[in-house]
Amino acid sequence: MAYNKLKGRIVEKFGSQTKFAAALGMTENTVSRKMQDKVEFSKDDMVRWAELLEIDSSEFWDYFFADRL
């Protein structure tokens, strides 16, 4: 499954994807579609998500790309 580490971080920091979506100002459906690869992450998405999840830019690969291989 894709984005396992990212999903874990969302739960760790926000408790649920629903609460994370609210913090982003997105619908849960939009977040879900991105996590399912139905909608691509933009660079701006990655930066904003990383800010809220306190992910350092040096860890972007681990959270946004490693599971994609």
Q: How far apart are CA 27 and CA 48, in angstroms?
A: 15
Does residue 39 sit in helix, strand or coil?
Answer: coil
pLDDT score at 28:
96
* pTM metric for this prediction: 0.88
pLDDT above 60 for 3: yes
Interatomic CA distance for residues 64 and 49, integer angstroms: 10
Domains of the chain (ranges; CATH) run 4-68 (1.10.260)
Both structure tokens of 57: 């830019």
pLDDT in tens, 15-36: 999 999 999 999 999 999 999 8
- The pLDDT confidence band at residue 41, using thresholds 50, 70 and 90, is confident
What was the pLDDT predicted at 65?
Answer: 83
